[in-house]
């Protein structure tokens, strides 16, 4: 389609029965993948660590080739994802968040999908519209919802300035030309030949093929300077003019209205369940609110009463909460403090309070309002950007010393406040690291840029102990509502004779104490704990709720990394300071859940 005039949303809706939204998005488990890197249509042999580890690094030439491959398309497709839905379903995934799939400039290597050239077509590297529809239908048949990553902040590199790569100064720059199908700046910017340049030149649909679509103010240098970060280009990706005005009097631009109609089309065409909205910090709140309101109202007409929109919001948790409340976004990706603190608490490098305090301490929240964080924040540690890692990017398991604690990190992610999200490959222990994002975007299906520095090996190993553990934890989360929405309390512990109860800390090194917390719902307490020690079991007394329990009350072990503990009871005892507590034992790298009886 060349124009939004070709869209007939009412006809597209017809008498079609659309999938209803889940009642509670905050009780789901999300899984995020990059389409190009997740699954292709060719089957490769399953990876064997002893035989295949770093099989692409046999000599300097092969090393360089493997590194170069990571900057190009590898071959993952929508059909490939469809083939792996059983793998995801068994893992316990209930929401599949997929990276952008719309058409990129043909001359680009935007395998990640974040530089769109045509908002009404699927990039042929990924497949076609029918492939998307089939993926959604087959996911829905397994009870898996589909969330698409979408962008309204910028397009791909679709034009060239008169003076190449100008920096932001606040003033608009003159444009030399739109790019043609070969990437050359040859298309008249004021009077483009639409017929000649469809579909690979310029930008589409036709309503966007106009200089007024763009701010044209050069690329951002100071990412914290307002309005620079809201008006400038993302390097070569061109900032779209979304409109003007304050929050309550925002006038959406033609470009924003056009993109919004395009995304309505994809919802109706493919029966999508939600969006992840990219780079919200860089959008005016009015633009975000316009888009969110329009999309949600349209989804309502399809019977999707709770179409979910997650915003990628950098700038701190309080800022994220404010933006969500201003714009109608349902949730925020906690990409600032959360990944860093979740990972380092699980590894024992940070004190437990560094992570748990995120969900309790805020000048914007009154008592009881901390539930906002529980229901409106996506929590994850590995991801495709690792924003907090500026110089070098690395997945959790890249740190070989603490890699054995990956199961504890998943446990912490699944059973603490927030909505857990898994980044593809984490369940297989991917250990990518390096000075570029590509190293944490390894191919899972094989090909020329495989995980663990391999080629032509796949990693869908359902017998992998990490996969098996995640599957087990997902079932527990589904079974026990406390683990999903219970109030959360970091617990004080004591492992000394004088019973000096305190929060576990990392004092200049690693935390050498048990980390324990409670999830309480409707007078029922579940106590959870992890041991960050790599080679030493630990015994600790852990405080439980004084009002809910009496001396001699019992807790039963629902789950433990030590199978022999499961099903066994322990009694509530009194600590030296009069606190009710449990005395628990955890093996090195261990995990446990106790439930009050």
Show the 3-state SS of 527-542: EEEEECCCCCCEEEEE
Instruction: Give residue limits of the domains in the chain.
Output: 28-149+442-479, 154-241, 482-596
CA 360 to chain CA centroid, nearest Å: 22
User: Tell me, which fold does domain 482-596 have in CATH?
Assistant: Immunoglobulin-like (2.60.40)
- DSSP assigned state of 240: B
- Over residues 377-405, the pLDDT tens digits come to 999 999 998 888 888 999 999 999 999 99
> Mean pLDDT across the chain, nearest whole number?
94
Distance in angstroms (rounded) separating the CA atoms of residues 228 and 236: 15
Name 160's Cβ contacts closer than 8 Å, sequence gap at least 6: 175, 176, 177, 179, 185
Distance in angstroms (rounded) separating the CA atoms of residues 179 and 197: 9
- Which pLDDT score, from 0 to 100, does residue 367 have? 44
Across the range 128-144, mean pLDDT stands at: 98
* HSE (side-chain half, CA atoms, 13 Å) at 287: 27
CA 443 to chain CA centroid, nearest Å: 17
- Over residues 347-384, the pLDDT tens digits come to 999 999 999 988 875 444 444 555 677 789 999 999 99
- Over residues 276-321, the pLDDT tens digits come to 999 999 999 999 999 999 999 999 999 999 999 999 998 777 888 8
Decide: helix, strand or coil at residue 486: coil
Main-chain dihedrals φ then ψ at residue 381, nearest 5 degrees: -115, -65
Q: What is 507-568 written as a DSSP string? A: -SS---SEEEEEEEETTEEEEEEEE--SS--EEEEEE--TTT--TT-EEEEEEESSGGGTT-
C-beta separation of 535 from 411 below 8 A: no
CATH code, residues 28-149+442-479: 3.20.20.80
* HSE (side-chain half, CA atoms, 13 Å) at 348: 22
- Which pLDDT score, from 0 to 100, does residue 365 have? 43
- Residue 335 — pLDDT band, cuts 50, 70, 90? low
Main-chain dihedrals φ then ψ at residue 405, nearest 5 degrees: -95, 10
C-beta separation of 102 from 122 below 8 A: yes
Q: How many CB atoms lie within 10 A of CB 365?
A: 16
Token pair, residue 485, equals 């929405």
Q: How many helices and strands (H and E) does the chain possess?
A: 18, 27
Beta strands in 61-107 (DSSP E): 95-98, 102-103
Q: CA nearest 187: which of 160, 156, 219?
A: 160
Q: What percentage of the chain carries pLDDT values higher than 70?
A: 97
- Residue 498 — pLDDT band, cuts 50, 70, 90? low
Token pair, residue 233, equals 């280009």
As a 3-state breakdown, the chain gives helix, strand, coil percent values, each rounded to 5, of 30, 20, 45
Across the range 312-340, mean pLDDT stands at: 87
- Which pLDDT score, from 0 to 100, does residue 334 have? 66
User: Is residue 142 over pLDDT 60?
Assistant: yes
The neighbouring-strand residues paired with 167 are 219
C-beta separation of 542 from 515 below 8 A: no
Q: Using the CB atoms, write b or e for 265-292: b if 16+ within 10 Å.
A: bbbbbbbbbbbbbbbbbbbbbbbbbbbb
Beta strands in 133-222 (DSSP E): 145-150, 159-161, 175-179, 185-187
Distance in angstroms (rounded) separating the CA atoms of residues 31 and 25: 13
Q: Using the CB atoms, write b or e for 477-512: b if 16+ within 10 Å.
A: beebbbbbbbebbbbbbbbeeeeebebbebeeebbb
Q: CA nearest 331: which of 376, 379, 281, 283?
A: 376
Distance in angstroms (rounded) separating the CA atoms of residues 445 and 443: 6
User: Is residue 85 over pLDDT 90?
Assistant: yes
Decide: helix, strand or coil at residue 462: coil
Token pair, residue 368, equals 């009881």
Q: Whole-model pTM above 0.95?
A: yes
C-beta separation of 516 from 578 below 8 A: no
Across the range 5-21, mean pLDDT stands at: 92
Across the range 408-426, mean pLDDT stands at: 97
Across the range 449-464, mean pLDDT stands at: 97
Q: What is 270-325 written as a DSSP string? A: HT--EEEES-GGGS-HHHHHHHHHHHHHHHHHTT-TT-EEEEE--S-HHHHHHHHH
Across the range 395-423, mean pLDDT stands at: 97
Distance in angstroms (rounded) separating the CA atoms of residues 352 and 518: 13
């Amino acid at each position: 389609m060349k124009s939004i005039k070709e869209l007939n949303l009412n006809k597209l809706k017809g008498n079609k029965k659309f999938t209803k939204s889940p009642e509670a998005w905050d009780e789901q488990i999300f899984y995020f993948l990059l389409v190009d890197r997740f699954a292709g249509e060719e089957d490769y042999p399953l990876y064997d660590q002893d035989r295949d580890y770093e099989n692409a690094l046999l000599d300097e030439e092969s090393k360089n080739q493997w590194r170069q491959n990571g900057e190009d398309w590898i071959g993952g497709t929508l059909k490939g994802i469809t083939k792996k839905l059983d793998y995801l379903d068994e893992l316990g995934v209930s929401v599949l968040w997929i990276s952008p799939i719309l058409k990129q400039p043909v001359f680009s290597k935007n395998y990640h999908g974040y530089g769109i050239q045509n908002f009404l077509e699927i990039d042929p590297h990924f497949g076609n519209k029918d492939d998307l529809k089939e993926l959604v239908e087959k996911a829905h048949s397994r009870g898996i919802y589909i969330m698409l990553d979408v962008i309204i902040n910028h397009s791909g590199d679709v034009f060239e300035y008169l003076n190449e790569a100008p920096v932001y100064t606040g003033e608009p720059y003159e444009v030399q030309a739109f790019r043609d199908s070969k990437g050359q700046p040859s298309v008249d910017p004021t009077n483009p030949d639409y017929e000649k340049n469809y579909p690979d030149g310029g930008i589409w649909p036709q309503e966007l093929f106009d200089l007024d679509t763009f701010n044209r103010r050069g690329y951002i240098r100071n990412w914290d300077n307002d309005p620079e970060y809201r008006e400038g280009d993302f390097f070569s990706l061109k900032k779209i003019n979304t409109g003007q005005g304050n929050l309550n009097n925002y006038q959406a631009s033609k470009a924003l209205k056009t993109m919004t109609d395009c995304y309505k089309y994809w919802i109706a065409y493919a029966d999508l369940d939600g969006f992840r909205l990219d780079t919200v910090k860089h959008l005016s709140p009015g633009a975000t609110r316009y888009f969110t309101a329009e999309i949600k109202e349209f989804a309502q007409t399809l019977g999707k009463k709770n179409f979910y929109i997650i915003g990628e919001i950098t700038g701190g948790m309080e800022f994220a909460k404010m933006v969500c409340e201003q714009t109608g976004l349902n949730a925020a990706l906690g990409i600032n403090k959360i990944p860093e603190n979740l990972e380092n608490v699980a590894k024992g490098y940070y004190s437990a309070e560094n992570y748990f305090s995120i969900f309790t301490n805020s000048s914007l929240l009154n008592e009881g309002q901390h539930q906002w964080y529980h229901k409106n924040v996506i929590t994850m540690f590995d991801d495709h950007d690792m924003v907090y890692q500026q110089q070098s990017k690395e997945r959790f398991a890249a740190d070989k010393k603490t890699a054995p604690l990956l199961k504890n990190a998943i446990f912490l992610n699944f059973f603490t406040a927030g909505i857990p999200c898994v980044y593809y490959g984490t369940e297989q222990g991917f250990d990518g690291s390096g000075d570029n994002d590509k190293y944490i975007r390894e191919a899972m299906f094989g090909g020329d840029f495989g995980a663990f520095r391999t080629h032509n090996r796949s990693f869908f190993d359902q017998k992998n102990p990490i996969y098996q553990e995640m599957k087990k934890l997902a079932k527990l989360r589904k079974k026990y509502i406390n683990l999903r929405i219970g109030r959360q309390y970091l617990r004080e512990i004591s492992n000394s004779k004088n019973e000096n109860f305190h929060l576990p800390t990392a004092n200049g090194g690693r935390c050498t104490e048990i980390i324990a917390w409670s999830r309480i719902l409707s007078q029922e307490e579940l106590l959870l704990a992890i041991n960050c020690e790599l080679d030493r079991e630990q015994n600790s007394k852990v405080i439980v709720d004084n009002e809910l329990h009496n001396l001699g009350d019992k807790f039963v072990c629902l789950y433990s990394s030590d199978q022999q503990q499961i099903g066994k009871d322990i009694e509530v005892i009194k600590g030296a300071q009069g606190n009710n507590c449990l005395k628990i034992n955890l093996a090195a790298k261990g995990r446990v859940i106790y439930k009050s009886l």
